[in-house]
């Protein structure tokens, strides 16, 4: 089955700096890669996703890049703010056939220091 | 308001006492699933359902049961809870399998003593 590795497990940055979280996946058939943000005591919520026919997607201060050949994808947050502090999860799934499994990485605790 | 609702939010129980965590969604989503979240292990899928009366095991199904008699409800049943099932549980739903946004419930923190 799919295996998703996420690094780093913790990340501390100064406000205004950029943060990058990286994930690798094992199943070359995976074609959907979402990122979820989980604030302390809250539920995970989708912040951005990318499909395998796209190399990069941007939404204001966040962007995701995908390298299908290397089977890795990354989340980039620019101009970080204290409210970006949370746990971020990457995930991978594939459509069609076994379209039932969303495999998550173990998460990255991002702390943005004011 | 579109939402996924879990109950209860918090539960402390004793080993072996059967319990049910309910999950209900009002978005007419076909796909629903249960996850458990443990420190350092991320979110692991327990069971999923692709539609009414269609359920299957995820990565960590041992000790759990589910049912999907109606589209909106997907309860998680622990017939004989054990301390290693102490965890934070999330129900999620999505409109078309897991290649679309998953909407999570607010979570149920379960403690088995």
Model confidence pLDDT, tens digit, residues B1-47: 889 999 999 999 999 999 999 999 999 999 999 999 999 899 999 99
Nearest residue on chain A to B43, judged by CA atoms?
Answer: A104
Share of chain A above pLDDT 90, in %: 84
User: Which element (helix H / strand E) includes A88?
Assistant: strand A86-92
List the single residue in B with minimal CA-CA distance to A1: B59
- Are A1 and A103 within 8 A, CB to CB? yes
pLDDT in tens, A36-70: 999 999 999 999 999 988 899 999 999 999 999 99
How far is Cα A13 from Cα A21, in angstroms, rounded to an integer? 12
Question: In angstroms, what separates the C-alpha of A52 from chain B's closest C-alpha?
Answer: 11
CB contact under 8 A, A95 and B42: no
Burial class (CB in 10 A: 0-12, 13-18, 19+), B112: buried
- How far apart, in whole angstroms, are the C-alpha atoms of residue B39 and residue A44? 15
Q: If you compute the radius of gyration of chain A from its CA atoms, what whole number of angstroms results?
A: 14
Interacting residues of B85 by C-beta distance below 8 A, sequence separation 6+: B63, B78, B110, B112
Residues A56, A26: Cα–Cα separation, whole Å: 20
Does B54 contact chain A (CB < 8 Å)? no
CA distance B89 to B21: 9
pLDDT band at B97 (very low <50, low <70, confident <90, very high): low
Contact B110, B22 (CB under 8 A): no
Question: A92 near A32, Cβ under 8 Å?
Answer: yes
How confident is the model at residue A94, as a pLDDT? 79
B98 touches A: beta carbon within 8 Å:
yes
- Please tell me the predicted confidence (pLDDT) of residue B95: 85
Dist. CA A35–CA B102, nearest whole Å: 11
Dist. CA A33–CA A54, nearest whole Å: 11
Question: Taking 70 as the threshold, does the pLDDT of residue A98 lie above it?
Answer: no
**Residues B56, B28: Cα–Cα separation, whole Å:** 20
Residue A97 has pLDDT above 60, yes or no: no
Question: Over the range A48-64, which residues count as b (16 or more CB within 10 Å of their CB) and which as e?
Answer: bbbebeeeeeeeeebbb
The whole-angstrom distance between residue A103's C-alpha and the CA centroid of its chain comes to 12
């Amino acid at each position: 089955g799919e295996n998703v590795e996420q690094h780093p497990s913790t990340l501390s940055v100064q406000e205004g700096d950029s943060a990058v979280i990286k994930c690798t996946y094992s199943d070359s058939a995976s074609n959907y890669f979402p990122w979820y943000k989980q604030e302390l005591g809250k539920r995970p919520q989708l912040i951005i996703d990318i499909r395998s026919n796209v190399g990069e997607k941007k939404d204001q201060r966040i962007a995701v890049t995908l390298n299908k050949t290397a089977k890795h994808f990354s989340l980039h947050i620019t101009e970080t703010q204290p409210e970006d502090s949370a746990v971020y999860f990457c995930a991978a799934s594939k459509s069609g056939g076994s379209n039932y499994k969303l495999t998550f990485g173990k998460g990255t605790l991002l702390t943005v220091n004011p | 308001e579109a939402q996924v609702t879990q109950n209860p939010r918090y539960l402390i129980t004793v080993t072996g006492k059967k319990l049910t965590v309910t999950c209900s969604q009002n978005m007419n989503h076909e796909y629903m699933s249960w996850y458990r979240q443990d420190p350092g292990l991320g979110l692991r899928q327990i069971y999923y359902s692709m539609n009414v009366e269609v359920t299957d095991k995820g990565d960590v199904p041992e000790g759990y049961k589910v049912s999907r008699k109606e589209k909106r409800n997907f309860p998680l049943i622990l017939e004989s809870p054990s301390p290693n099932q102490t965890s934070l549980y999330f129900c999620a739903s999505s409109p078309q399998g897991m290649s679309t946004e998953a909407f999570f419930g607010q979570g149920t923190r379960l403690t088995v003593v």
